[in-house]
Amino acid sequence: MIKKRFNPITDRSSEIIAFLMASPDMPKDDDLRFKIELSIEEAVENVVQYAYEGGIGWLEAGTSLDDQSLILTIELRDAGVPFNPLEMEDPDITLRADERPVGGLGIYLCKSMMDRISYRYEDGNNILIMEKQITN
């Protein structure tokens, strides 16, 4: 796994996203890259904005490919407030934007764009794993 720890993370969302997107594990296909980058942006921004009271904390971000180079895995790990984003109810996207409650759309986008997302809380850390098939 190619990974890096960012500490502190305040005002570093762009840097974290750029690090992940520059990984040699990333696909070349523009459509896949768009979906992956959007998911990364949403997940990273959630950590930067909400994981730590006062906004000061760390985030470890990394990528890897499986042995056949078919599945890209993106892992985000932080020691912020325990939060499982997968427990959030999906927003009702049939409603107009001004009729929907605020929040939850970013996580919904991640779930829609990625093939698999999992979460666990382990040893005082939130661990979010997003997977995307990158070749057939």
Q: What phi-psi label fits residue 123: left (phi over 0), alpha (psi between -120 and 50 degrees) or beta?
A: left
49-93 residue pLDDT tens: 889 987 789 999 999 999 888 999 999 999 999 999 888 775 555
Q: Taking the CA atoms of 46, 51, 56 and 57 in sequence, report the sign of the dihedral they define.
A: negative
Q: What is the CATH number of the domain that holds 55?
A: 3.30.565.10
23-37 residue pLDDT tens: 999 999 999 999 999
Q: Are 85 and 93 in contact (CB under 8 A)?
A: no
pLDDT of residue 90: 58
Q: Are 129 and 136 in contact (CB under 8 A)?
A: no
pLDDT of residue 136: 54
88-126 residue pLDDT tens: 775 555 556 566 555 555 687 888 899 999 999 999 999
The count of domains in the chain is 1
Q: Quote the domain boundaries for residue 31.
A: 2-133
